[in-house]
Amino acid sequence: MLLPLTVLFATAALVCGLPHLKYQDAQCGYQACPATDPSKLNVHLIPHSHDDLGWLQTVDKYYYKQVQYVISTVVEALEMNPNRRQVFIQVETAFFHYWWQFQDEDTRNLVKKLINEGRLEVINGGWSMNDEATTHYQSTIDQFTFGHLWLQETFGECGLTKTGWQIDPFGHSREQASIYAQMGFDSFFIMRFDYRDKGKRKNEKTLDLLWRGSDNLASDTNIFTSGFSEDTYAWPNNLCFDMSCDKHVVTDERSTEFNLRQIINDFMGIINERSQHYPTNNLFITMGDDVHYQGAHKGFISIDRIIDGFKQYNPTLDDGRELNVFYSTPSCYTKAVHDSVVRENITLSYKTDDFLPLVTTDFSGCWTGFFTSRPTSKRLERVSNNVLQATKQLVALAGFPREETYHLEDAVGIMQHHDAMPGTELQDVEKDYHRRMHAGIMDSVKIISRALTSLLGLESDIDLHYCPFANISICAETKKDKFRVLLYNPLGVAVDHYVQLPIDAASWTVTDPEGVTVKNSIYSPVRNFQYMADDLGRPFSDSVIMFKADNLPPLGYKVYTVEKTAAKAEHADPTPTEYSVGDELRAGFQNNYIVLDTDTGLVDRMAINGFEMKVTPRIMFYYSDWSSGAYMFKPNGSHRDPVDFGDRVESKIKSSPVSVEIKQEWRDWGIITFRIYPDTDYIEVDWVAGPIDVGDGQGRDVIIRYDTDLETNGFFYTDSNSRELMERKRNFRPTFEFTDGEPQAGNYYPVTSRIVMKDVDKGVEFAIITDRAEGGSSLSDGQLELMVHRALLRDEFSNEHLYEMEYGTGLVARGSHYITFGPTKSEDSRSAAFIQRDIAVKKHQTPLILFPLGDVPDGPVSFLREELPVNVRLLTLQKWKDEENKYLLRLEHFLEKNDDEELSKEVTVDVQGLFPKLNIVSLEERTLNGVTRLEEAERLQWPQTRASNFGKRVERDPADLKITLAPMQIRTFIATVG
């Protein structure tokens, strides 16, 4: 019986055998590329296998049933033909790593040899081929770092790549281009993008282009990008020569099966057509498909015969040019195009926006549903990442081995896969992703417990526990009359946090580390989750306690004590206000409140920090069309507009000194709870959707719509993977003509953290920060909507429709929106943009809520000497090289250059003594993925642009421990600790 992968691959591979070779000593990278002929059309044949880390099967099933045979037979076939220029590209590092664990020393040495010769070339190199629409940049960077570090440690410099290969994600984000450029990549290959854009580029011969990945980081984020001319990465047309295809290349002219001449003629038709769409004398053709090359010999033999056939028959193009046909890789294609551009002084098309959303037909082809599909998976990934960041920090601070974080890094890295984060996998595959993340989280809690025990110098483990079901009122640790709560803050700044914990109905007191009583409030759960508790066989709590944990120290913790008491606690101000004037009811606090229309029960206005504006949120749904599935969003053609649950709703108000709650239950499967706090820059919208009623045979897409009186002129803004804001305009695309076959779905964009509207004349901004990726839009001026849940009755590519089941019924999803608004520029020197980004950062990495059963000092305890500047994020702190006492440190200036007059300026952080547990003595700057010294990072330069040297501050003394950050800049260092 095979053990689960999470057990089999728990330890990193030992690197032994062949020594690592430097690029100059090996024939890998561009040095391994075949010669091109400037007088001919150079046809690059690229053998590859696309291996999904889960989709229709789980990761384990794909690996054991198919992928292991792909890698094994490719290696065997390449070694059998050392004199031929056969090549293959290996993409998904997770699978490559898994396969490596089971190979003997001879096989490992053979693979190293093939990589050093450039015959087996690693492309992309991330743990997975990540999604680009729904992923957060921190997780994307991490999964590349995880993959690239293993490749470098295992294969040396020849194991690293400079090529992005994103051939299956459903659209492409600008931040992905920026990340590639900051990692030192030269190129980015894409396949799926809008059919109107692709058609225009084909006609204009601009499928090869330069793409600027950032408005803030100048030309350093330019990257060569090549788009596929066809909507497939498979073998060309029907010319498939894999073992799974019933097609063969027969070269014996005496045979009745002879077909080489016909195959060459068929190839010529393909080459003639495709070559018209590219600007140089280079064309690439992919030779592979999903899990192809399980019997690699047939594929390579067939390609050998095709290449020989072109030499034998020497056909010419319609324009008379001869052909040079050969094995190649995406890297070699990039180098060939670059040489042609330089030689012939060609100016490539220049792009500054993104390739989202993906639309493949004018009707029924908007791939915008996956922005929301499987919302609980999207949330679990955020939770997993939060635990992972805290674990990496504490493992580093405690000096534990790097491999301690492997399980959760593996699970989160897999989750970035382009069928995992989008939610386009089958449900049993989704459950497997959940299993991996849950196991990784629970292991990490034990590691955090050991790390804190060590850092605090305690002899006995503090025995931390975690409640993964606290959001549905299930937590064994709080079913006691007295318990302690340890709140660990993973950010580099102190934070305030409103804590919610399930408890039994009673009077309770909360005390802080100094023994001071903290005011609290008791609420009912947002809905009845008893049936979930029954299904899990766990005790359910009928109440929720809320209290404010203020000033949680940076990279540190506080412990609070919660105890049942007979007497009701008395609390001081602030006191909530609740009063009626005419047909209005105001509820909240002096500066933060909501005004209800007492006739309809709807919210009419909101105020934050004393600034009041008209805002009306409501939960609604679209009837879905038959063609709507996990990938695509298409409202029913006969009823396109969203359906209101009604024009009235009952509002139930619960007031306390901690917060004021206004609960609106539109249906038992559509509930909104507004939560107003006295001192925050936001009002929370706690939403619950599901089980969605599809009893009438129609699928539904649930949205929350926010109506305001802002004049927005069709413009709104969405974040690119939670980094820079992208300007959107309704019914418009910057680089091609928009057609409105799908006026709703065609205007949807991914919202990974933030969607914004601006009234330029009023100087007011309205923003919503999300707790996971969701689809969103502004379909009317002054209006935003976010899709929060989906229940559909079909799927585009499988027989399983998107109606998720949990606990014996349809899925219930719970989440939060954080509404913030106010003047674009504020008198208190905090701009609206800074407030929005500050909320987004703090809601992305929230304090971990843990329960110590052992003795632990109450704190406050901080493992940071002082707070970081308010505009700086500690993006990464992790162990790097155990034996060399090296650590990876990333700092980020999280504002854009025009966000704030003061806070968008450069900022300097001195890390000398910053981490009392780590005596940093030197810093070596690296590319974003951490594996290449920045001063050694060479990128292809394109004649039409000039590098700004913005990111190359390389003339630095390693002993200089001051780090200066410009807006949106992430700087990565290897810190040596003395």
**Model confidence pLDDT, tens digit, residues 830-879:** 999 999 999 999 999 999 999 999 999 999 999 999 999 999 999 999 99
**Tens of pLDDT, residues 425-465:** 999 999 999 999 999 999 999 999 999 999 999 999 999 99
Taking a C-beta distance cutoff of 8 angstroms, is the pair 921, 959 a contact? Answer: yes
Q: Classify residue 469 by burial, with Cβ atoms within 10 Å: 0-12, 13-18, 19+.
A: middle
Question: What is the maximum span of the chain, computed from C-alpha positions, in angstroms?
Answer: 100
Percent of the chain with pLDDT over 70: 95
Strand pairing report for 749-751 and 809-810 = unpaired
* Cα 306 to Cα 37, 240, 312, distances in angstroms: 19, 12, 10
Confidence (pLDDT) at 10: 37
Taking the CB of residue 420, how many other CB atoms lie within 10 A of it?
30
Answer yes or no: is pLDDT of 810 > 50. Answer: yes
Section 208-212 average pLDDT: 98
Residue 303, pLDDT > 90, answer yes
The 10 Å Cβ neighbour count of residue 467 is 16
- Residue (of 792, 788, 810) closest to 378 by Cα position: 788
Per-residue pLDDT of 317-338, as tens digits, reads 999 999 999 999 999 999 999 9
Residue 910 appears among annotated catalytic residues:
no
Work out the burial of residue 630: count CB atoms within 10 Å of its CB; fewer than 13 is exposed, 13-18 middle, 19 or more buried: buried
Q: Is the dihedral of CA 204, 207, 209, 215 positive or negative?
A: positive
Least confident of 490-494, 748-752, 790-794, 834-838: 790-794
Residue 480 has pLDDT above 70, yes or no: yes
**pLDDT over 70 at 577, yes or no:** no
Q: How high is the pLDDT of residue 301?
A: 96
Whether the pLDDT of residue 954 is over 80: the answer is no
912-941 b/e (C-beta count within 10 Å ≥ 16 → b):
eebbeebebebbebbbbbbbbebeebebbe
Catalytic position from the list 168, 242, 419, 604:
168
pLDDT exceeds 80 at position 15? no
Strands 783-791 and 700-708: antiparallel
pLDDT at residue 582, rounded to an integer = 67
**For residue 481, what are its two tokens?**
């009359």
840: tokens are 């987004």
When pLDDT is cut at 50, 70 and 90, the band that residue 77 belongs to is: very high
Rank 524-533, 745-754, 791-800, 882-891 by mean pLDDT and report only the highest. Answer: 745-754
pLDDT of residue 704: 98
**What residue spans of 284-426 are helical by DSSP H?**
296-313, 330-344, 375-398, 406-415
pLDDT digits (tens, 9 = 90+) for 190-200: 999 999 999 99
pLDDT at 934: 95
Looking at residue 854, its pLDDT comes to 97
Q: What value does the mean pLDDT take over residues 659-669? A: 95
Least confident of 255-269, 581-595, 921-935: 581-595
- What are the φ and ψ backbone dihedral angles of 268, each rounded to 5 degrees? -60, -35
The pLDDT value given to residue 12: 38
Q: What type of residue is 33?
A: C
Its pTM stands at: 0.96
CA dihedral angle for residue 794, residue 799, residue 804, residue 809, rounded to 10 degrees: 100
* Rounded mean pLDDT, 260-286: 98
Provide φ and ψ at 977, rounded to 5°: -105, 130
pLDDT at residue 883, as a whole number = 84
- Do the beta carbons of residue 194 and residue 358 sit within 8 Å? yes
**Which DSSP string corresponds to 885-941?**
TEEEEEEEE-S-TTS-TTTTS-EEEE-TTTSTT--EEEEEEE-TTSSSBGGG-----
The Cα-based distances of 480 to 9, 544, 763 in angstroms read 38, 14, 51
840: CB partners within 8 A, 6+ apart:
719, 722, 753, 754, 769
Measured from the Cβ of residue 331, the count of other Cβ atoms closer than 10 Å reads: 25
For the record, the structure tokens of 130 come out as: 């990540």
- Nearby residues of 380 by Cβ (< 8 Å), 6 or more positions away: 434, 437
Structure tokens at 566: 């007979």
Q: Is the pLDDT of residue 164 over 90?
A: yes
C-beta pairs of 584-588 under 8 Å, 24+ apart in sequence? 585/651, 585/653, 587/653, 587/655, 587/660, 587/662, 587/676, 588/660, 588/676
Mean pLDDT of 489-505: 97
Contact (CB, 8 A) for 309 and 911: no
Residue ranges of E strands in 13-142: 41-50, 88-90, 120-122
Distant-in-sequence, close-in-space partners of 176: CB < 8 Å, separation ≥ 6: 130, 132, 140, 164, 166, 188, 213, 721
- Phi and psi angles of residue 471, each rounded to the nearest 5 degrees, phi first: -70, -10
pLDDT value, residue 581: 60
β-sheet with 764-770: strand ranges across: 651-655, 660-667, 670-676, 683-689, 813-823, 764-770, 754-759, 715-719, 725-729
Mean pLDDT of 57-66: 98
Out of 367-376, 580-589, 678-687, 890-899, least confident range: 580-589
Overall average pLDDT of the 692-718 stretch: 97
The pLDDT, as a whole number, for residue 25 is: 54
pLDDT digits (tens, 9 = 90+) for 900-945: 999 999 999 999 999 999 999 999 999 999 999 999 999 999 999 8
Long-range (24+ apart) CB contacts under 8 A made by 339-347 are: 339/36, 340/36, 340/38, 340/280, 340/281, 340/282, 341/280, 341/942, 341/943, 342/943, 343/38, 344/280, 345/943, 346/279, 346/280, 347/944
Binned at pLDDT 50, 70 and 90, residue 13 comes out as: very low
Q: Quick one: tokens of 806?
A: 């949990």
